[in-house]
Structure 1
Amino acid sequence: MTALGYIWEASLQPGDTRVCGEGTRDGALLGIQLWAQDPKGPSICWLTGFGRAGKSTIARSIAEKMSEDETLGASFFCSRYSKDQSNLLSIIPTLAFQLARKYHLFRSALEIRKEYASFEDQVNYLFVQPLKKSAISTVIVIDALDECRGGERLLSFLGQIVSEAPGVKFFITSRPGSRIQREMDVLGGSRVHGFDLRRELDTC
Protein backbone atom coordinates (compact mmCIF):
# COMPACT_ATOMS: atom_id res chain seq x y z
CA MET A 1 0.00 0.00 0.00
CA THR A 2 2.93 2.37 0.47
CA ALA A 3 3.28 2.39 -3.32
CA LEU A 4 0.07 4.39 -3.56
CA GLY A 5 1.77 7.68 -2.69
CA TYR A 6 -0.48 8.72 0.19
CA ILE A 7 -0.39 12.46 1.05
CA TRP A 8 -0.87 12.43 4.82
CA GLU A 9 -1.50 16.15 5.32
CA ALA A 10 -4.30 16.14 2.73
CA SER A 11 -6.56 13.90 4.83
CA LEU A 12 -8.51 14.68 7.99
CA GLN A 13 -6.15 14.97 10.94
CA PRO A 14 -7.13 13.87 14.47
CA GLY A 15 -7.76 16.83 16.74
CA ASP A 16 -7.93 19.38 13.92
CA THR A 17 -9.32 22.58 15.47
CA ARG A 18 -10.33 24.16 12.15
CA VAL A 19 -13.96 23.15 12.58
CA CYS A 20 -17.19 25.06 13.13
CA GLY A 21 -17.72 26.45 16.60
CA GLU A 22 -20.72 25.32 18.62
CA GLY A 23 -23.92 26.89 17.33
CA THR A 24 -22.45 28.09 14.02
CA ARG A 25 -23.38 26.91 10.54
CA ASP A 26 -26.05 24.70 12.07
CA GLY A 27 -28.30 24.94 9.02
CA ALA A 28 -25.58 23.93 6.59
CA LEU A 29 -24.28 21.12 8.78
CA LEU A 30 -27.74 19.67 9.35
CA GLY A 31 -28.59 19.82 5.67
CA ILE A 32 -25.39 18.01 4.71
CA GLN A 33 -25.87 15.36 7.39
CA LEU A 34 -29.44 14.71 6.22
CA TRP A 35 -28.18 14.35 2.64
CA ALA A 36 -25.53 11.84 3.75
CA GLN A 37 -28.09 9.77 5.64
CA ASP A 38 -30.58 9.59 2.78
CA PRO A 39 -29.92 6.40 0.76
CA LYS A 40 -32.31 7.53 -1.99
CA GLY A 41 -30.97 11.07 -2.35
CA PRO A 42 -28.40 12.44 -4.82
CA SER A 43 -24.98 10.80 -4.67
CA ILE A 44 -23.12 14.12 -4.75
CA CYS A 45 -23.44 17.10 -2.42
CA TRP A 46 -21.74 20.19 -3.81
CA LEU A 47 -21.12 23.07 -1.40
CA THR A 48 -20.23 26.40 -3.00
CA GLY A 49 -19.19 29.76 -1.63
CA PHE A 50 -16.67 32.51 -2.21
CA GLY A 51 -13.21 32.55 -0.60
CA ARG A 52 -13.22 32.66 3.22
CA ALA A 53 -16.93 31.83 3.30
CA GLY A 54 -16.28 28.86 5.58
CA LYS A 55 -16.37 26.00 3.08
CA SER A 56 -13.25 24.26 4.39
CA THR A 57 -14.35 24.73 8.00
CA ILE A 58 -17.65 23.06 7.19
CA ALA A 59 -15.91 20.31 5.22
CA ARG A 60 -13.63 19.52 8.16
CA SER A 61 -16.58 19.57 10.55
CA ILE A 62 -18.53 17.17 8.36
CA ALA A 63 -15.52 14.89 7.89
CA GLU A 64 -14.89 14.84 11.64
CA LYS A 65 -18.53 14.02 12.40
CA MET A 66 -18.60 11.24 9.81
CA SER A 67 -15.31 9.88 11.08
CA GLU A 68 -16.83 9.63 14.54
CA ASP A 69 -19.88 7.72 13.30
CA GLU A 70 -17.81 5.53 10.94
CA THR A 71 -19.43 6.77 7.71
CA LEU A 72 -16.36 8.63 6.40
CA GLY A 73 -14.40 6.54 3.94
CA ALA A 74 -11.74 9.04 2.90
CA SER A 75 -11.01 12.74 2.60
CA PHE A 76 -8.77 15.04 0.59
CA PHE A 77 -8.32 18.72 1.40
CA CYS A 78 -6.93 20.56 -1.60
CA SER A 79 -4.82 23.69 -1.19
CA ARG A 80 -3.31 25.99 -3.78
CA TYR A 81 -0.47 26.68 -1.33
CA SER A 82 0.73 23.05 -1.34
CA LYS A 83 2.41 21.33 -4.29
CA ASP A 84 1.00 17.95 -3.29
CA GLN A 85 -2.45 19.16 -2.28
CA SER A 86 -2.93 21.02 -5.56
CA ASN A 87 -1.77 18.08 -7.68
CA LEU A 88 -4.57 16.17 -9.40
CA LEU A 89 -2.47 12.99 -9.44
CA SER A 90 -2.31 13.01 -5.62
CA ILE A 91 -6.05 12.83 -5.01
CA ILE A 92 -6.91 9.29 -6.15
CA PRO A 93 -3.93 7.51 -4.49
CA THR A 94 -4.60 9.33 -1.21
CA LEU A 95 -8.30 8.46 -1.25
CA ALA A 96 -7.56 4.86 -2.28
CA PHE A 97 -5.05 4.46 0.57
CA GLN A 98 -7.62 5.55 3.14
CA LEU A 99 -10.36 3.36 1.68
CA ALA A 100 -8.04 0.35 1.57
CA ARG A 101 -7.05 0.90 5.18
CA LYS A 102 -10.70 1.05 6.27
CA TYR A 103 -12.35 -1.55 4.04
CA HIS A 104 -10.92 -5.03 3.49
CA LEU A 105 -13.10 -5.62 0.41
CA PHE A 106 -11.79 -2.46 -1.23
CA ARG A 107 -8.20 -3.41 -0.41
CA SER A 108 -8.67 -6.86 -1.95
CA ALA A 109 -10.00 -5.32 -5.17
CA LEU A 110 -7.14 -2.82 -5.61
CA GLU A 111 -4.86 -3.21 -8.60
CA ILE A 112 -1.69 -1.31 -7.69
CA ARG A 113 0.84 -0.74 -10.46
CA LYS A 114 4.25 0.90 -10.50
CA GLU A 115 2.92 3.48 -12.92
CA TYR A 116 -0.23 4.28 -14.85
CA ALA A 117 -0.41 5.23 -18.51
CA SER A 118 -2.80 8.08 -17.80
CA PHE A 119 -4.88 9.76 -15.14
CA GLU A 120 -7.84 7.83 -16.51
CA ASP A 121 -6.04 4.52 -15.81
CA GLN A 122 -5.20 5.68 -12.29
CA VAL A 123 -8.85 6.49 -11.61
CA ASN A 124 -10.03 3.20 -13.08
CA TYR A 125 -7.63 0.83 -11.29
CA LEU A 126 -7.40 2.61 -7.94
CA PHE A 127 -10.92 3.94 -7.63
CA VAL A 128 -13.68 2.96 -10.04
CA GLN A 129 -13.08 -0.80 -10.19
CA PRO A 130 -12.34 -1.31 -6.46
CA LEU A 131 -15.44 0.70 -5.50
CA LYS A 132 -17.56 -1.29 -7.94
CA LYS A 133 -16.23 -4.70 -6.86
CA SER A 134 -16.26 -4.02 -3.12
CA ALA A 135 -19.80 -2.56 -3.12
CA ILE A 136 -19.06 -0.55 0.03
CA SER A 137 -21.30 2.20 1.42
CA THR A 138 -19.33 5.27 2.43
CA VAL A 139 -18.92 9.04 2.09
CA ILE A 140 -15.87 10.66 0.49
CA VAL A 141 -15.04 14.30 1.24
CA ILE A 142 -13.08 16.45 -1.24
CA ASP A 143 -12.58 20.06 -0.18
CA ALA A 144 -11.61 23.05 -2.35
CA LEU A 145 -11.44 21.05 -5.57
CA ASP A 146 -11.10 24.30 -7.53
CA GLU A 147 -7.69 24.78 -5.86
CA CYS A 148 -6.40 21.61 -7.51
CA ARG A 149 -4.96 22.07 -11.00
CA GLY A 150 -7.24 20.22 -13.40
CA GLY A 151 -9.55 19.15 -10.59
CA GLU A 152 -12.56 19.26 -12.90
CA ARG A 153 -11.16 16.19 -14.70
CA LEU A 154 -11.98 14.09 -11.67
CA LEU A 155 -15.63 15.09 -11.91
CA SER A 156 -15.90 13.61 -15.39
CA PHE A 157 -15.63 10.18 -13.74
CA LEU A 158 -18.17 10.77 -10.98
CA GLY A 159 -21.15 9.88 -13.14
CA GLN A 160 -19.63 6.48 -13.83
CA ILE A 161 -18.62 5.96 -10.21
CA VAL A 162 -22.00 6.74 -8.66
CA SER A 163 -23.73 4.58 -11.29
CA GLU A 164 -21.50 1.55 -10.72
CA ALA A 165 -21.01 2.05 -6.97
CA PRO A 166 -24.38 3.37 -5.74
CA GLY A 167 -23.39 3.04 -2.08
CA VAL A 168 -20.74 5.76 -2.42
CA LYS A 169 -21.52 9.43 -1.80
CA PHE A 170 -19.28 12.44 -2.46
CA PHE A 171 -19.23 15.71 -0.54
CA ILE A 172 -17.35 18.30 -2.60
CA THR A 173 -16.67 21.99 -2.01
CA SER A 174 -15.48 24.68 -4.41
CA ARG A 175 -15.91 28.30 -5.36
CA PRO A 176 -18.86 29.07 -7.67
CA GLY A 177 -18.48 30.01 -11.31
CA SER A 178 -15.47 27.78 -11.95
CA ARG A 179 -14.75 24.89 -14.33
CA ILE A 180 -16.04 22.70 -11.49
CA GLN A 181 -19.47 24.24 -11.98
CA ARG A 182 -19.56 23.34 -15.66
CA GLU A 183 -18.81 19.70 -14.85
CA MET A 184 -21.45 19.66 -12.11
CA ASP A 185 -23.99 21.00 -14.62
CA VAL A 186 -23.13 18.09 -16.92
CA LEU A 187 -23.73 15.60 -14.10
CA GLY A 188 -27.26 16.93 -13.71
CA GLY A 189 -29.58 17.85 -10.87
CA SER A 190 -30.74 14.31 -10.11
CA ARG A 191 -27.20 13.34 -9.10
CA VAL A 192 -26.11 16.60 -7.47
CA HIS A 193 -27.52 18.28 -4.37
CA GLY A 194 -26.32 21.88 -4.49
CA PHE A 195 -25.78 23.96 -1.36
CA ASP A 196 -24.85 27.64 -1.74
CA LEU A 197 -23.25 29.30 1.28
CA ARG A 198 -24.13 32.72 -0.10
CA ARG A 199 -27.65 32.02 1.13
CA GLU A 200 -26.44 31.32 4.66
CA LEU A 201 -26.42 34.24 7.08
CA ASP A 202 -24.59 32.72 10.03
CA THR A 203 -20.79 32.44 10.05
CA CYS A 204 -18.15 30.05 11.29
Structure 2
Amino acid sequence: MSFFEGAHHITIRRGTQIAAASGSTVNYHQATKHANEKRMIYSRLSASQTDRRTLLTTFASVHTQLWSLSRLSAAAAHTALHNSAARPDAPRCHRNTRAAYRDNVEQWTLGSGNDYDGERLIWLRGGAGVGKSAIMQSVIEQCAQHAVVLGSFFFFRSDSSRNYAEVLIPTLAYQLARSFPAALAILEPIISRDPLIFKASLRTQAHELLVRPILYLFENGIIDIDDPRRRVFFIDGLDECNDPQKHALIINIVASILCDYHVPISFLIASRPELAISSAFQRETRLYPTFASISLDDSTDAESDIRQFVEDSFLDIVDSHPWRNISNCLGPTPDQSIIWRTCHRDILSMPQQR
Protein backbone atom coordinates (compact mmCIF):
# COMPACT_ATOMS: atom_id res chain seq x y z
CA MET A 1 0.00 0.00 0.00
CA SER A 2 1.35 3.40 -0.88
CA PHE A 3 1.44 6.28 1.61
CA PHE A 4 0.33 8.58 -1.20
CA GLU A 5 -2.54 6.51 -2.56
CA GLY A 6 -5.17 8.85 -3.98
CA ALA A 7 -2.97 11.93 -3.41
CA HIS A 8 -2.36 14.56 -6.09
CA HIS A 9 0.40 17.11 -6.73
CA ILE A 10 2.85 15.59 -4.23
CA THR A 11 6.45 16.82 -4.24
CA ILE A 12 9.11 15.03 -2.21
CA ARG A 13 12.14 17.17 -1.33
CA ARG A 14 15.43 15.59 -0.29
CA GLY A 15 13.75 12.21 0.00
CA THR A 16 15.54 8.89 0.28
CA GLN A 17 14.47 6.06 -2.06
CA ILE A 18 14.51 2.57 -0.61
CA ALA A 19 14.13 -0.53 -2.75
CA ALA A 20 12.57 -3.37 -0.80
CA ALA A 21 11.61 -6.81 -1.90
CA SER A 22 8.05 -8.02 -1.62
CA GLY A 23 7.25 -9.07 1.95
CA SER A 24 10.12 -7.03 3.45
CA THR A 25 9.68 -4.80 6.49
CA VAL A 26 10.88 -1.20 6.42
CA ASN A 27 11.20 0.84 9.65
CA TYR A 28 11.24 4.62 9.30
CA HIS A 29 11.00 7.84 11.29
CA GLN A 30 9.99 11.17 9.88
CA ALA A 31 12.18 14.31 9.58
CA THR A 32 13.79 13.88 13.01
CA LYS A 33 16.58 16.38 12.43
CA HIS A 34 14.30 19.21 11.41
CA ALA A 35 11.77 18.38 14.12
CA ASN A 36 14.47 18.50 16.78
CA GLU A 37 15.73 21.80 15.44
CA LYS A 38 12.21 23.22 15.57
CA ARG A 39 11.72 21.99 19.11
CA MET A 40 15.02 23.60 20.15
CA ILE A 41 14.01 26.90 18.52
CA TYR A 42 10.61 26.85 20.24
CA SER A 43 12.30 25.99 23.54
CA ARG A 44 14.74 28.85 23.14
CA LEU A 45 11.96 31.25 22.24
CA SER A 46 9.99 30.15 25.28
CA ALA A 47 13.03 30.52 27.55
CA SER A 48 13.83 33.87 25.96
CA GLN A 49 10.31 35.09 26.60
CA THR A 50 10.49 33.87 30.21
CA ASP A 51 13.85 35.57 30.72
CA ARG A 52 12.47 38.72 29.16
CA ARG A 53 9.47 38.71 31.48
CA THR A 54 11.77 38.13 34.45
CA LEU A 55 14.06 40.92 33.30
CA LEU A 56 11.14 43.31 32.82
CA THR A 57 9.75 42.41 36.24
CA THR A 58 13.15 42.95 37.86
CA PHE A 59 13.60 46.24 36.02
CA ALA A 60 10.15 47.42 37.11
CA SER A 61 10.88 46.45 40.71
CA VAL A 62 14.23 48.25 40.73
CA HIS A 63 12.68 51.29 39.08
CA THR A 64 9.91 51.40 41.68
CA GLN A 65 12.38 51.06 44.55
CA LEU A 66 14.55 53.83 43.13
CA TRP A 67 11.44 55.98 42.84
CA SER A 68 10.64 55.30 46.50
CA LEU A 69 14.20 56.12 47.52
CA SER A 70 14.03 59.38 45.57
CA ARG A 71 10.80 60.27 47.37
CA LEU A 72 12.50 59.61 50.72
CA SER A 73 15.47 61.69 49.62
CA ALA A 74 13.22 64.59 48.64
CA ALA A 75 11.52 64.53 52.04
CA ALA A 76 14.77 64.23 54.03
CA ALA A 77 17.00 67.00 55.39
CA HIS A 78 20.32 66.32 53.67
CA THR A 79 22.06 68.95 55.78
CA ALA A 80 21.27 67.00 58.96
CA LEU A 81 23.40 63.98 58.07
CA HIS A 82 26.66 63.46 59.93
CA ASN A 83 28.60 63.47 56.64
CA SER A 84 26.71 66.28 54.94
CA ALA A 85 28.67 68.70 52.78
CA ALA A 86 26.72 71.45 54.55
CA ARG A 87 28.65 70.62 57.74
CA PRO A 88 32.29 70.78 56.53
CA ASP A 89 33.51 72.06 59.91
CA ALA A 90 31.42 69.72 62.05
CA PRO A 91 32.83 69.71 65.60
CA ARG A 92 34.89 66.71 66.59
CA CYS A 93 36.60 65.80 69.83
CA HIS A 94 40.15 67.07 70.04
CA ARG A 95 42.63 64.29 70.68
CA ASN A 96 42.80 63.18 74.31
CA THR A 97 39.68 65.18 75.25
CA ARG A 98 36.33 63.79 76.35
CA ALA A 99 38.02 60.40 76.06
CA ALA A 100 36.12 58.72 78.91
CA TYR A 101 32.74 59.77 77.53
CA ARG A 102 33.63 58.80 73.97
CA ASP A 103 34.96 55.41 75.03
CA ASN A 104 31.84 54.66 77.07
CA VAL A 105 29.48 55.53 74.24
CA GLU A 106 31.54 53.68 71.62
CA GLN A 107 31.71 50.55 73.78
CA TRP A 108 27.97 50.75 74.38
CA THR A 109 27.30 51.10 70.64
CA LEU A 110 29.57 48.22 69.68
CA GLY A 111 28.27 45.96 72.45
CA SER A 112 31.70 45.67 74.05
CA GLY A 113 30.24 45.77 77.54
CA ASN A 114 30.35 48.65 80.02
CA ASP A 115 28.22 50.34 82.69
CA TYR A 116 25.45 51.02 80.14
CA ASP A 117 25.31 47.54 78.65
CA GLY A 118 21.62 46.99 79.44
CA GLU A 119 20.41 50.40 78.28
CA ARG A 120 18.69 51.02 74.96
CA LEU A 121 18.38 54.79 75.24
CA ILE A 122 21.10 57.16 76.42
CA TRP A 123 20.57 60.86 76.92
CA LEU A 124 23.82 62.82 76.61
CA ARG A 125 23.15 66.13 78.35
CA GLY A 126 25.11 69.26 79.11
CA GLY A 127 25.22 73.01 78.67
CA ALA A 128 26.46 74.94 75.67
CA GLY A 129 30.03 74.22 74.64
CA VAL A 130 30.61 71.08 76.72
CA GLY A 131 31.17 68.91 73.63
CA LYS A 132 27.87 67.13 72.99
CA SER A 133 27.93 67.50 69.20
CA ALA A 134 31.66 66.80 69.07
CA ILE A 135 31.19 63.52 70.94
CA MET A 136 28.25 62.53 68.73
CA GLN A 137 30.17 63.30 65.53
CA SER A 138 33.30 61.48 66.70
CA VAL A 139 31.39 58.40 67.86
CA ILE A 140 29.38 58.15 64.63
CA GLU A 141 32.51 58.43 62.48
CA GLN A 142 34.26 55.79 64.57
CA CYS A 143 31.31 53.36 64.63
CA ALA A 144 30.03 53.80 61.06
CA GLN A 145 32.66 51.40 59.75
CA HIS A 146 31.11 48.65 61.91
CA ALA A 147 27.66 48.98 60.26
CA VAL A 148 25.92 49.86 63.53
CA VAL A 149 24.72 53.37 62.65
CA LEU A 150 21.14 53.17 61.35
CA GLY A 151 20.96 56.92 60.86
CA SER A 152 21.77 60.30 62.37
CA PHE A 153 20.15 63.70 62.60
CA PHE A 154 21.83 66.93 63.73
CA PHE A 155 19.32 69.64 64.59
CA PHE A 156 20.62 73.20 64.21
CA ARG A 157 18.61 76.23 65.24
CA SER A 158 20.04 78.58 62.58
CA ASP A 159 19.52 76.21 59.63
CA SER A 160 15.93 76.29 58.40
CA SER A 161 16.34 72.95 56.64
CA ARG A 162 17.01 71.04 59.88
CA ASN A 163 15.52 72.99 62.76
CA TYR A 164 12.03 71.46 62.72
CA ALA A 165 10.70 68.02 63.67
CA GLU A 166 8.79 67.14 60.49
CA VAL A 167 11.95 66.17 58.59
CA LEU A 168 13.34 63.91 61.32
CA ILE A 169 11.58 60.62 60.49
CA PRO A 170 12.00 60.80 56.66
CA THR A 171 15.71 61.58 57.15
CA LEU A 172 16.21 58.57 59.42
CA ALA A 173 14.16 56.34 57.08
CA TYR A 174 16.22 57.46 54.07
CA GLN A 175 19.45 56.47 55.82
CA LEU A 176 17.93 53.16 56.90
CA ALA A 177 17.04 52.35 53.28
CA ARG A 178 20.52 53.35 52.11
CA SER A 179 22.18 51.11 54.70
CA PHE A 180 19.73 48.22 54.23
CA PRO A 181 18.17 48.30 50.72
CA ALA A 182 15.97 45.33 51.66
CA ALA A 183 13.94 47.78 53.76
CA LEU A 184 12.55 49.15 50.48
CA ALA A 185 10.48 45.97 50.19
CA ILE A 186 8.33 47.49 52.95
CA LEU A 187 8.87 51.17 52.27
CA GLU A 188 8.05 51.04 48.55
CA PRO A 189 4.41 49.87 48.86
CA ILE A 190 3.84 52.24 51.79
CA ILE A 191 5.03 55.26 49.79
CA SER A 192 3.28 54.11 46.60
CA ARG A 193 -0.01 53.58 48.38
CA ASP A 194 0.18 56.83 50.33
CA PRO A 195 2.38 59.48 48.67
CA LEU A 196 1.33 61.92 51.41
CA ILE A 197 2.84 59.76 54.15
CA PHE A 198 5.46 62.48 54.67
CA LYS A 199 2.67 64.87 55.64
CA ALA A 200 1.22 62.47 58.21
CA SER A 201 1.71 62.87 61.95
CA LEU A 202 5.15 62.10 63.35
CA ARG A 203 3.71 59.11 65.18
CA THR A 204 2.26 57.65 61.95
CA GLN A 205 5.49 58.32 60.07
CA ALA A 206 7.53 56.61 62.78
CA HIS A 207 5.39 53.48 62.63
CA GLU A 208 5.22 53.24 58.84
CA LEU A 209 8.71 54.41 57.88
CA LEU A 210 10.78 53.10 60.80
CA VAL A 211 9.02 50.44 62.88
CA ARG A 212 7.67 48.30 60.03
CA PRO A 213 10.83 48.16 57.87
CA ILE A 214 13.11 47.60 60.87
CA LEU A 215 10.99 44.71 62.16
CA TYR A 216 11.04 43.27 58.63
CA LEU A 217 14.85 43.39 58.58
CA PHE A 218 15.06 41.51 61.89
CA GLU A 219 12.31 38.99 61.09
CA ASN A 220 13.99 38.03 57.81
CA GLY A 221 17.47 37.74 59.30
CA ILE A 222 18.86 40.67 57.33
CA ILE A 223 19.91 42.11 60.68
CA ASP A 224 20.97 39.39 63.10
CA ILE A 225 19.07 39.83 66.35
CA ASP A 226 21.77 37.83 68.18
CA ASP A 227 24.54 40.17 67.05
CA PRO A 228 25.95 41.82 70.20
CA ARG A 229 26.47 45.06 68.30
CA ARG A 230 23.67 47.57 68.61
CA ARG A 231 21.83 49.24 65.77
CA VAL A 232 21.61 52.89 66.79
CA PHE A 233 19.87 56.08 65.69
CA PHE A 234 21.77 59.24 66.74
CA ILE A 235 19.80 62.47 67.34
CA ASP A 236 21.87 65.53 68.26
CA GLY A 237 20.70 68.95 69.41
CA LEU A 238 17.11 68.05 70.23
CA ASP A 239 16.82 71.36 72.09
CA GLU A 240 17.53 73.17 68.79
CA CYS A 241 14.28 71.94 67.26
CA ASN A 242 12.27 75.14 66.89
CA ASP A 243 9.04 73.84 68.49
CA PRO A 244 9.49 73.01 72.21
CA GLN A 245 6.30 70.94 72.17
CA LYS A 246 7.90 68.63 69.60
CA HIS A 247 10.76 67.87 72.01
CA ALA A 248 8.44 65.87 74.25
CA LEU A 249 6.68 64.31 71.25
CA ILE A 250 9.94 63.00 69.81
CA ILE A 251 10.91 61.50 73.17
CA ASN A 252 7.46 59.92 73.43
CA ILE A 253 7.78 58.42 69.94
CA VAL A 254 11.21 56.98 70.79
CA ALA A 255 9.71 55.44 73.93
CA SER A 256 6.91 53.89 71.85
CA ILE A 257 9.36 52.41 69.34
CA LEU A 258 11.39 50.80 72.12
CA CYS A 259 8.68 49.84 74.62
CA ASP A 260 5.38 49.47 72.74
CA TYR A 261 6.58 47.98 69.45
CA HIS A 262 9.62 46.32 71.07
CA VAL A 263 11.88 47.18 68.16
CA PRO A 264 15.34 45.80 69.09
CA ILE A 265 17.33 48.96 68.34
CA SER A 266 18.82 51.79 70.41
CA PHE A 267 18.83 55.59 70.46
CA LEU A 268 21.47 58.11 71.54
CA ILE A 269 20.03 61.59 72.06
CA ALA A 270 22.13 64.66 72.90
CA SER A 271 20.77 68.00 74.08
CA ARG A 272 20.91 70.72 76.67
CA PRO A 273 19.04 69.80 79.86
CA GLU A 274 16.16 72.14 79.19
CA LEU A 275 13.03 71.83 81.31
CA ALA A 276 10.76 70.50 78.55
CA ILE A 277 13.23 67.77 77.67
CA SER A 278 14.10 66.82 81.26
CA SER A 279 10.39 66.66 82.15
CA ALA A 280 9.61 64.51 79.10
CA PHE A 281 12.22 61.95 80.08
CA GLN A 282 10.93 61.91 83.66
CA ARG A 283 7.35 61.30 82.50
CA GLU A 284 8.32 58.31 80.35
CA THR A 285 8.45 55.85 83.24
CA ARG A 286 8.32 52.89 80.83
CA LEU A 287 11.83 53.87 79.74
CA TYR A 288 13.34 53.59 83.20
CA PRO A 289 14.56 49.96 82.91
CA THR A 290 16.49 50.72 79.71
CA PHE A 291 17.34 54.41 80.06
CA ALA A 292 20.54 56.17 81.17
CA SER A 293 21.51 59.82 81.40
CA ILE A 294 25.11 61.01 81.07
CA SER A 295 26.00 64.51 82.26
CA LEU A 296 28.89 66.32 80.59
CA ASP A 297 28.96 69.13 83.15
CA ASP A 298 31.69 67.55 85.30
CA SER A 299 33.95 70.55 86.01
CA THR A 300 37.01 68.45 86.83
CA ASP A 301 37.02 66.66 83.49
CA ALA A 302 36.16 69.89 81.67
CA GLU A 303 39.10 71.78 83.16
CA SER A 304 41.46 68.93 82.32
CA ASP A 305 40.20 68.76 78.73
CA ILE A 306 40.52 72.54 78.30
CA ARG A 307 44.10 72.45 79.56
CA GLN A 308 44.88 69.57 77.21
CA PHE A 309 43.34 71.45 74.27
CA VAL A 310 45.29 74.67 75.00
CA GLU A 311 48.60 72.84 75.44
CA ASP A 312 48.14 70.84 72.24
CA SER A 313 47.14 73.99 70.37
CA PHE A 314 50.37 75.73 71.36
CA LEU A 315 52.36 72.66 70.34
CA ASP A 316 50.60 72.71 66.97
CA ILE A 317 51.59 76.37 66.56
CA VAL A 318 55.22 75.53 67.30
CA ASP A 319 55.21 72.61 64.87
CA SER A 320 53.61 74.56 62.04
CA HIS A 321 55.17 78.01 62.53
CA PRO A 322 57.35 79.12 59.57
CA TRP A 323 60.11 80.38 61.91
CA ARG A 324 60.66 77.02 63.57
CA ASN A 325 63.59 76.26 61.21
CA ILE A 326 65.35 79.61 61.61
CA SER A 327 65.28 79.88 65.38
CA ASN A 328 68.99 79.04 65.59
CA CYS A 329 69.79 82.14 63.53
CA LEU A 330 68.30 84.45 66.12
CA GLY A 331 71.07 83.91 68.65
CA PRO A 332 74.80 84.84 68.51
CA THR A 333 77.46 82.90 66.72
CA PRO A 334 79.81 80.85 68.94
CA ASP A 335 82.54 83.52 68.97
CA GLN A 336 79.97 86.13 70.03
CA SER A 337 78.32 83.94 72.61
CA ILE A 338 80.32 85.08 75.66
CA ILE A 339 79.85 88.75 74.76
CA TRP A 340 76.11 88.24 74.08
CA ARG A 341 75.55 86.44 77.36
CA THR A 342 77.64 88.92 79.36
CA CYS A 343 75.75 91.88 77.94
CA HIS A 344 72.42 90.32 78.80
CA ARG A 345 73.66 89.43 82.28
CA ASP A 346 74.68 93.02 82.88
CA ILE A 347 71.36 94.35 81.59
CA LEU A 348 69.32 91.98 83.70
CA SER A 349 71.41 92.69 86.79
CA MET A 350 70.71 96.44 86.63
CA PRO A 351 68.40 97.57 89.45
CA GLN A 352 66.05 99.21 86.97
CA GLN A 353 65.44 95.84 85.26
CA ARG A 354 64.83 94.06 88.52
Same topology, TM > 0.5: yes
Deviation at 1:151, TM superposition (A): 2.9
Query: Which residue number in structure 2 is paired with residue 190 of structure 1?
Result: 289
Segments of structure 2 that go 5 or more residues without pairing to the other structure are: 1-68, 224-229, 310-354
Alignment-mate amino acid for residue 290 of structure 2: R
Whole-angstrom distance in 2 between the partners of 1:53 and 1:17 = 15
Is the CA contact 1:99–1:107 (under 8 Å) kept in the aligned structure 2?
no
Query: Which residue number in structure 2 is paired with residue 144 of structure 1?
Result: 237
Is the CA contact 1:139–1:170 (under 8 Å) kept in the aligned structure 2?
yes
Deviation at 1:171, TM superposition (A): 0.8
Higher helix share: 2
Whether 2:204 is the aligned partner of 1:121: answer: yes
Whole-angstrom distance in 1 between the partners of 2:293 and 2:120 = 11
Q: Aligned residues, how many? A: 204
Alignment-mate amino acid for residue 13 of structure 1: N
- Match of residue 95, structure 2, among 4, 22, 32: 22
Whole-angstrom distance in 1 between the partners of 2:99 and 2:135 = 10
Change (3 A) 1:99 1:16: farther
Whether 2:90 is the aligned partner of 1:9: answer: no
TM-score, with length taken from structure 2 = 0.54
Higher strand share: 1
Change (3 A) 1:32 1:127: same
Query: Which residue number in structure 2 is paired with residue 157 of structure 1?
Result: 253
Q: Which of 1 and 2 has greater Rg?
A: 2
Is the CA contact 1:47–1:174 (under 8 Å) kept in the aligned structure 2?
yes
Deviation at 1:60, TM superposition (A): 0.5
Structure 1 runs of 4+ with >6 Å offset: none
Segments of structure 1 that go 5 or more residues without pairing to the other structure are: none
Deviations 1:35-91 (A, max 9, x none): 223385111111000011111111111111111222111100000111121110101
Larger mean Cα displacement after TM superposition, 90-99 or 184-193:
184-193
Is the CA contact 1:12–1:60 (under 8 Å) kept in the aligned structure 2?
yes
TM-score, with length taken from structure 1 = 0.90
SS of the aligned residue for 2:150 comes to: strand
Deviation at 1:166, TM superposition (A): 4.2
> 1 or 2 for the larger relative contact order (CA 8 Å, sep ≥6)?
1
Aligned CA RMSD, in angstroms, stands at 2.1
Query: Which residue number in structure 1 is paired with residue 344 of structure 2?
Result: none
Alignment-mate amino acid for residue 288 of structure 2: G
